[in-house]
Amino acid sequence: MSKFFKTVSWIYFLAFIELLLSPSGASAYSVVRFGAKGDGRSDSTSAFIRAWMQACSSVRPAILSVPRGTFLIRSVTFTGPCRSRIQFAIHGILVAPDNYYAIGNLGYWIQFHKVSRLSIIGGTIDAKGAGFWSCRSSGQSCPQGARSISLQWCNNVLVRGLTSYNSQIMHISINRSNNVKIQNVKINAPSGSPNTDGIHVEYSMGVTITDSTIKTGDDCISLGQGSMNVWVEQIGCGPGHGISIGSLGNSFNEGGVQNVTVTNSVFTKTQNGVRLKSWAKPSGGYARNIVFRNLIMRNVGNPIIIDQKYCPNNICPHQNSGVRISQVTFTNIKGTSSTQAALTFRCSSSNPCSGIRLQDIKLTYIDRLRRPTLAYCENARGSNSGTVFPRSCL
């Protein structure tokens, strides 16, 4: 055999061995090899960054793995673009330092920036937000607060099987990112924790959130300006403030929300069920082609609500929302309300809601006096079909 062929077969042999070691054919990078320690105390931030840089520059698909153990990390940005697809496989727990300033200053704890073909699989993250929440409630000056996971300008992302505890502010933020799938995540923060939204979407297209359990102090899921083609299915929400579109219309120039479906989900003891919310201010924003379908409400404050008069601390007196809300369908929504206000459509007088459709609604009041639930309409236009209880005001 010529020397050339010997060399080639030797290369194939080595590649074959590597394939055996890593069945997916991907190159594996364990953070421990880069100096991370799973003792819960040592700062592993720079080891994670070194491991990321190696994995991200791999020509072959890369797996960056975090083994069992508790790894302490400060704010970190994992920057792309990477040369191939990359999987963040977390078997252990990532924790933030006890001092909330360590992650609170930059707006994020774990950020992915301009990464495409990313999957984040498994793992538990704990931002230890309680110190930050009490700083805020004490009225002291506090850092701005960190989103636990922030996807910025990322495309083709899968997050599967992640558990997130006690974020300072949002748990998962998806911003300027397209084609993002969130599956089987568990989010856990106490019902009184401020602004701890479960999953927030903004300026992103093609986001699906499925088979997840979200217990938190703010919205389970919030879809902000520029959210398009969003699918939400099989969510257990509560405690929390429900699934919301908004708040929209805080600024004049903002992207609309379009083509959103929320289906086959259960709300338990939440402040709201499904909600659209906009500031009572001039705005060029809109929300249209929204479907809420097959939902169960258990003891929910406002099971169905559109509120265009959002104006905390009365900072927008005598103004109307400029956000145009149209083509919003509520189908097969059943269960109990913890207030009499089961259906609320409080729309803008300058931009009435149009194309609101109610079909097969049955919402009863949890009340020992057996009072009925009520529907309230203001500047709302639309139609009803099937059984609608309480009796519709459209």
Q: Cβ of residue 232: shortest distance to ligand NAG, in angstroms?
A: 9
DSSP-derived secondary structure letter, 253: S
Listed ranges 127-135, 223-231, 345-353, 356-364: which one lies at the site for ligand NAG (CB under 6 A): 223-231
**Between 229 and 326, whose beta carbon lies closer to ligand NAG?**
229
The C-alpha atoms of residue 189 and residue 153 are separated, in whole angstroms, by 27
Q: Cβ of residue 87: shortest distance to ligand NAG, in angstroms?
A: 24
Q: Interface with ligand NAG includes 179 (CB under 6 A)?
A: no
Member of 37, 114, 176, 298 binding ligand NAG (CB under 6 A): 176
Range 287-346, binding ligand NAG (CB under 6 A): none
Q: Is the peptide bond before 390 cis (omega within 30 degrees of 0)?
A: yes
Member of 91, 143, 231, 332 binding ligand NAG (CB under 6 A): 231
The C-alpha atoms of residue 377 and residue 394 are separated, in whole angstroms, by 7
Listed ranges 17-25, 52-60, 127-135, 169-177: which one lies at the site for ligand NAG (CB under 6 A): 169-177
**Between 175 and 331, whose beta carbon lies closer to ligand NAG?**
175
Q: Cβ of residue 108: shortest distance to ligand NAG, in angstroms?
A: 8
Q: Cβ of residue 201: shortest distance to ligand NAG, in angstroms?
A: 9
Q: Which residues pair with 388 in a beta bridge?
A: 361
Cα angle value 39/149/140 (rounded, 5°): 85
Q: Interface with ligand NAG includes 202 (CB under 6 A)?
A: yes
Calculate Rg over the CA atoms of the chain: 24
Listed ranges 72-80, 111-119, 224-232, 303-311: which one lies at the site for ligand NAG (CB under 6 A): 224-232
As a whole number of angstroms, the longest Cα–Cα distance in the chain is 94
Tell me how many residues contact ligand NAG (CB under 6 A). Answer: 9
Listed ranges 18-26, 124-132, 171-179, 299-307: which one lies at the site for ligand NAG (CB under 6 A): 171-179
Give the CA count within 13 Å in the CB-facing half-sphere of 349. 3
Q: Which residues pair with 112 in a beta bridge?
A: 78, 151
Q: Which residues pair with 378 in a beta bridge?
A: 346
Q: Cβ of residue 355: shortest distance to ligand NAG, in angstroms?
A: 16
**Between 67 and 206, whose beta carbon lies closer to ligand NAG?**
206
Phi, psi for residue 180 in degrees, rounded to 5:
-120, 130
Q: Which residue, among 308, 297, 247, has the nearest Cα to 274 in the 3D structure?
A: 297
Q: Interface with ligand NAG includes 175 (CB under 6 A)?
A: yes
**Between 149 and 341, whose beta carbon lies closer to ligand NAG?**
149
**Between 168 and 392, whose beta carbon lies closer to ligand NAG?**
168
Q: Which residues pair with 30 in a beta bridge?
A: 65
Q: Cβ of residue 102: shortest distance to ligand NAG, in angstroms?
A: 20
Q: Interface with ligand NAG includes 195 (CB under 6 A)?
A: no
Q: Which residue, among 50, 44, 139, has the nearest Cα to 96 in the 3D structure?
A: 44
Listed ranges 130-138, 228-236, 266-274, 368-376: which one lies at the site for ligand NAG (CB under 6 A): 228-236
- Torsion sign over Cα 318, 322, 323, 328: positive
* Residues classed as catalytic: 218, 241
CB-based contact 17:25 (threshold 8 Å): no
Q: Interface with ligand NAG includes 173 (CB under 6 A)?
A: yes
Q: Cβ of residue 83: shortest distance to ligand NAG, in angstroms?
A: 24
Q: Cβ of residue 202: shortest distance to ligand NAG, in angstroms?
A: 5
Q: Which residue, among 54, 53, 34, has the nearest Cα to 44 in the 3D structure?
A: 34
Give the CA count within 13 Å in the CB-facing half-sphere of 225. 15
The C-alpha atoms of residue 338 and residue 245 are separated, in whole angstroms, by 21
For residue 212, count CB atoms less than 10 angstroms from its CB and return exposed for 0-12, middle for 13-18, buried for 19 or more: buried
Member of 77, 250, 259, 354 binding ligand NAG (CB under 6 A): 259
State the residues that interact with ligand NAG by CB under 6 A: 173, 175-176, 202, 229-231, 259, 261
